[in-house]
Structure 1
C-alpha cells in the first residue's frame, strides 16, 4: 500500500536553532554544537534513503560580520558532527537586498530541489522560525516549525504544522500526516 510518506524524497533543514545551537553570526567552527537528537534524526532520515540538505540565511556575510570562508568552515564542522548532507544552500544577502534566496523567499528550497532532481512538493523543510515555514509554503514544500525559546509566539500560531522537536517533526513526515500523496 502506497502511503503519502512514499512521496517524500528529501528532508531539508534550517541550520541555526534547528540542527545546531544558534550562535549569532558564528564564524568559529569550534562553537558548533549539535542540538540533542539531531544526529539520530538525520541518521534515521538517511537510513530511509531520503536526501538531506541544509538551507541557511547568513546575512552576516553581506553585513561584513562573516566571510564566506568562515561560513564554509562552520558548515564543514556541522557535517563533521552530523554526517554528510546531499545539498547545502546559503543566502549571503541582507533582508533588504531583494534576493529570491533569503527565507522567507522560496529560492533556496527551489534550488535545493532542482539540484536533487525533485519537485518541491516532494520535499519537507524543518526550521525554527516563521520565515522557514513561509519559505516552504512559497516553494510548495511541506513546512514544519520546531520552536525554540527565540521563536516568536505569533510565528508558532501562524505555522501550519508545529512539532515539539526534530524527532517529532520527522516522525510526522514519515507517518505521512503532512505530505499529500497521489489522489
Structure 2
C-alpha cells in the first residue's frame, strides 16, 4: 500500500527490514545494549556487519523510548536509528514510551536531514506489545508529527508477517481518514 499524507509518501509493505534499497535510514528495534539480538536487531546487525556494534557500544545503554543514530555500514542505507521500545506489561507507561520511540526517531531523522525512513513494528515481537494497540499508537504519533517535519518525504513501514501488514493497512486507513 502506498499513499500520500500531507507532504509525505506513506508505504506499508511486507519485506526484510535489512534490505531497504533507496531508503536513507532504517529503524532498529534495539535492545538496551544496542547489541545483536533476535528479530529486527539480529537481521540489521548481521547484514550491517560487526562495525555497527562497535559504533553502538559507547552509545549504550539506552532506556525505553530513547533513540540513537549510527552509520549503516553494509546495509543499503546511510543510517540506522536504534529505538528501544517498551516491554509490554513491564515498562510503564508503555503507550507513552512507544510513542516516544517514534517521536525520537523522527527527531533524529530531522536533525540528520533524512528524507526517507523505514520502521519495523516496534515492541510487537519479543517485547510482547499487542500489534493492533501498538499500531494505533504508531500511527497516532506519526500522523501528529508529519506536519512539523521539513526533510522527510517518505515513511515506510516494513512488516514481518501478512497478519501484521493487514493490521497496519487497516489502522492507517481508519486513522488517516479521521485526521
Shorter-normalised TM range = 0.3 to 0.5
Please give the TM-score of this superposition, normalised by the length of structure 2: 0.42
Please give the TM-score of this superposition, normalised by the length of structure 1: 0.42
